[in-house]
Amino acid sequence: MQQKFTVNDSDSREALTGALGFIREKLGEMKLNEKDINRAELMCEESLLTLLKRADFSRLKHFAVDVRKSFGDVIIDLRVPGDDFDFYGNAEVPYRSDDDELQETQEAVQSLLLRSFSRFLRYKHYRRFNSVRIKALLSNYSGLYKILTISFLAVVTGFALRNFFQESVYMAVNDNIFAPIRTVFMNGLKMCAVPVVLFSIITCLSGMGNASGIRKSGGRLLKYILLFQVVSTVIAFGLMYVFRPGAGVEMIASKVETVQGESVSLMGMLMNLVPANLIRPLLEGDMLQIMVIAVILGISVGMAGAKILRDVFGELTAVFMRATRIFMIIVPLAIFCSVASMTITTGVDTLLSVLGIILTLIAGYILLNIFFCIAVKLRTGLSPFVMLRKSMPMIITAFSTCSSIATIPDGMKCCDDMGISQKIYALSIPLCTSICKAAFPITFTVFTLSAANMYGVNLSASTMISLAFSIIVLTISTPGLPGACVIAMSALLTQAGCPLDFIGIVLSLQAIEDLFNTPTTCMGNIACTIIAADGGNLINKGKYNS
């Protein structure tokens, strides 16, 4: 709701007080807690003070405040007439506080406050107005709401074009608007995929080279981490064999982006794992050989203790992940174009296949959670129902935030409630969050094989085995950063010989898939910790059952 506040005789204090009171009232009506209201009020007060100092009320005698909800987020828009200026100003506080420098000191402190809230503030100048958008509350589901809305609008647009216009019209729209935008996005991902995969695997494995201090506990953890990932991959391949989502749909790529190689035997695949030339796989995008190179170099750097090299590879990973984020800015537009193009070119069959992909993923996560319970019961004799009950705070956090990193404190608290020694869970929870990610093989496998079904790509037995190896390696090495899973999927699609057009479907489903992926991954972390703790007599079974 927008409200205008009149400024009388260039005295803005009364209007400022009224605006802050209006903001507090509206935030209270939206059921924000007192802490969030106080933080939002502070941001609004400092922003308005800064805007009003540079305001020009010669033409208009008022400024506007708008408080509203957008996709679950609470947004406050401030709009004040005036010329463009440096909103964040000079954050250097003078050393002296004499009377003649008091104003400068106050402005510097104000600038520091604005910079500290820069994550929640966005300033722009447009047509003689200075505007500041403040995010008073960030909803955990805003991304889901946005993607569902964008996907719905894209489907409606595609059906409208397909059913109410001639074929020449809607195909012209697809070929000249939707397809080019999607292609630009896919090209950006391809540009970043090879270096991100290479450098992230090297960085991950090189950091494990000197783990002598945690050899016993770490060895048990790594054994079960690998076991969980293998089982997760087997479950995914089994479900894809049974349900085959995407089969029967004739998807057509916007252009031929990948060329299937001739089918090779298992022995031929094994012989070609290690390339004779270090540069050729990088130039040709042979993802399996690139991962083998990365594994060899990562282990070698770790064994050599080359900390400088490890830091260099870590920085290179960060650089190319930053480049990926640049292209991720246009993700909403890429999703709209991809889904609209898919609807135009394939119709309702593809949408039903997309529903089949989601259901297959959910079935995989359910089966994997059942396996965690069985593994805990068989290996330790402890009740898996106690594990589920005492893990509920972590599961709720995982479901609400869709971030496994955000569940680390809850995960440690749950382990403590189960009587697990801090010696093991202080290591296992962060380690499993970084490299276990037990649900990821299901995600990668279902998406990749569904793409092969949709595009009619026939995968040989040797290709399936190489994909399984790549999925496990990428699960361990994919960093927990925005866009990292998309990069991993582009690498797998390339290896499988599928067009990267399928990334559009992945992006449109990722927010829904995360709701089930993250709790499953966190349950895998807890199960792995319980089994490793039992093997080292680091769990109090009496406290566990209490």
**How confident is the model at residue 399, as a pLDDT?**
79
Terminus-to-terminus CA distance in the chain, angstroms?
A: 52
**How confident is the model at residue 437, as a pLDDT?**
82
Q: What is the pLDDT of residues 146-176, one digit of tens each?
A: 878 888 898 899 889 988 888 889 889 988 9
**Which DSSP string corresponds to 213-282?**
GGHHHHHHHHHHHHHHHHHHHHHHHHHHHHH-TTTT-----SS----PPPP--HHHHHHTSS-S-SSHHH
Rounded Cα distance between 248 and 242, Å, is 14
Would you state the CATH architecture of domain 144-545?
Answer: Orthogonal Bundle (1.10)
Report residue 181 as tokens.
């935008």
**How confident is the model at residue 349, as a pLDDT?**
64
Residue 273 has pLDDT above 90, yes or no: no
**Which DSSP string corresponds to 70-129?**
ETTEEEEEEEEEB----SS---PPPS---GGGHHHHHHHHHHHHHHHTTTTEEEEEETTE
DSSP-H helix ranges across 347-391: 348-380, 384-390
Q: Under 8 Å CB-to-CB from 223, ≥6 apart: which residues?
A: none
433-447: buried (b, 16+ CB within 10 Å) or exposed (e) per residue? Answer: bbbbbbbbbbbbbbb
Which of 117-126, 216-225, 324-333 has the highest mean predicted lDDT (pLDDT)? 117-126
Query: Domain 2-139, what fold?
Result: Heat Shock Protein 90 (3.30.565)
**How confident is the model at residue 99, as a pLDDT?**
53
Mean pLDDT of the region 22-27: 92
Mean pLDDT of the region 39-53: 89
Q: What is the pLDDT of residues 442-471, one digit of tens each?
A: 999 999 999 998 888 888 888 898 899 889
Q: What is the pLDDT of residues 89-101, one digit of tens each?
A: 654 544 445 555 5
Average predicted confidence (pLDDT) for the chain:
81
Report residue 279's pLDDT band, with 50, 70 and 90 as the boundaries: confident
225 and 541 in contact (C-beta within 8 Å)?
A: no
Rg (CA), the chain: 27
Residue 298 has pLDDT above 80, yes or no: yes
Q: What is the pLDDT of residues 113-129, one digit of tens each?
A: 777 777 788 899 988 89
Residue showing tokens 């004040």: 80
Q: Which of 27-36, 350-359, 456-465 bottoms out in mean pLDDT, i.e. has the lowest?
A: 350-359
**How confident is the model at residue 433, as a pLDDT?**
75
**How confident is the model at residue 257, as a pLDDT?**
47
**How confident is the model at residue 7, as a pLDDT?**
87
**How confident is the model at residue 91, as a pLDDT?**
46
Closest CA to 44 of 69, 62, 67: 67
Closest CA to 503 of 342, 274, 318, 264: 342
Residue 211 has pLDDT above 50, yes or no: no
**How confident is the model at residue 114, as a pLDDT?**
74
179 and 321 in contact (C-beta within 8 Å)?
A: no
- The pLDDT > 90 percentage for the chain reads 20
Q: Residue ranges per domain, the chain?
A: 2-139, 144-545
**How confident is the model at residue 130, as a pLDDT?**
92
292 and 477 in contact (C-beta within 8 Å)?
A: no
Residue showing tokens 């609008």: 153
**How confident is the model at residue 213, as a pLDDT?**
40
Report residue 469 as tokens.
């190896």
**How confident is the model at residue 126, as a pLDDT?**
87
Report residue 263's pLDDT band, with 50, 70 and 90 as the boundaries: very low
Helix/strand/coil for 131:
strand
- The pLDDT > 70 percentage for the chain reads 84
Report residue 173 as tokens.
């729209």
Mean pLDDT of the region 124-140: 87
Mean pLDDT of the region 484-507: 84
Report residue 378's pLDDT band, with 50, 70 and 90 as the boundaries: very high
Residue 259 has pLDDT above 70, yes or no: no
Closest CA to 473 of 195, 280, 205: 205
Report residue 520's pLDDT band, with 50, 70 and 90 as the boundaries: very high
**How confident is the model at residue 348, as a pLDDT?**
62
Mean pLDDT of the region 399-420: 81
Rounded Cα distance between 496 and 483, Å, is 20
Rounded Cα distance between 111 and 47, Å, is 10
**How confident is the model at residue 235, as a pLDDT?**
95
Separation of CA 210 from chain center: 30
Reported for 465-469, long-range contacts at CB under 8 A and 24+ positions apart, including other chains, are: 465/266, 465/269, 466/269, 466/288, 466/495, 467/492, 467/495, 467/496, 468/233, 468/237, 469/288, 469/291
**How confident is the model at residue 33, as a pLDDT?**
87
Report residue 88's pLDDT band, with 50, 70 and 90 as the boundaries: confident
SS3 of 489-526: the string is HHHHHHHHCCCHHHHHHHHHHHHHHHHHHHHHHHHHHH
The DSSP code for 69 is E
Which of 126-140, 179-193, 280-294 has the highest mean predicted lDDT (pLDDT)? 126-140
Mean pLDDT of the region 461-486: 79
Q: Is the dihedral of CA 35, 36, 37, 39 positive or negative?
A: positive
Helix/strand/coil for 58:
coil
**How confident is the model at residue 217, as a pLDDT?**
56
Residue 132 has pLDDT above 90, yes or no: yes
Burial of 167 (0-12, 13-18, 19+ CB in 10 A): exposed
**How confident is the model at residue 269, as a pLDDT?**
59
pLDDT, greater one: 507 or 143:
507
